[in-house]
Amino acid sequence: MAAAATGDPAVPDCRICGACCAYSREWPRLTLEDDEAIARIPPRLLDDAAGRMRCEGDRCLALAGEVGVATSCSIYEARPEVCRACEPGDDACTMARAHFGLG
Ligand code: SF4
Ligand code: SF4
């Protein structure tokens, strides 16, 4: 999940999407974060052994709401770098949205 709406109707709005946060448990990985950044994430949302956010199936536990309807990241300010890098409309975004039947 990247950001709020851009105002461009051609660019999907993360707040009514959330697809990339529920596409694969392998996506929300912690690779670039230092100890300080990881400490900002509640431990119950971390899967330390796997080195990523804790997931239920493929859905990140930090995701709130319903995919394709209304969603938000419950740790938005502390979310992993990989989540910040996913931009609305990029290849990963398009793949995740297609998986959930979102145009
Ligand atoms: S799949 Fe794209 S539009 Fe949806 S939350 Fe992720 S970055 Fe935003
Ligand atoms: S940490 Fe937030 S932005 Fe990253 S996958 Fe989980 S819900 Fe999405």
pLDDT tens string 28-77: 999 999 999 999 999 999 999 999 999 999 999 999 999 999 999 999 99
What does pTM read for this prediction? 0.93
SS3 6: coil
Q: How far apart are CA 86 and CA 44, in angstroms?
A: 24
Atom of ligand 2 nearest to the CA of 71: 7
Residue 18 Cα to ligand 1 midpoint, Å, equals 6
Atom 7 of ligand 2, residue of closest alpha carbon = 63
Domain boundaries, the chain: 14-99
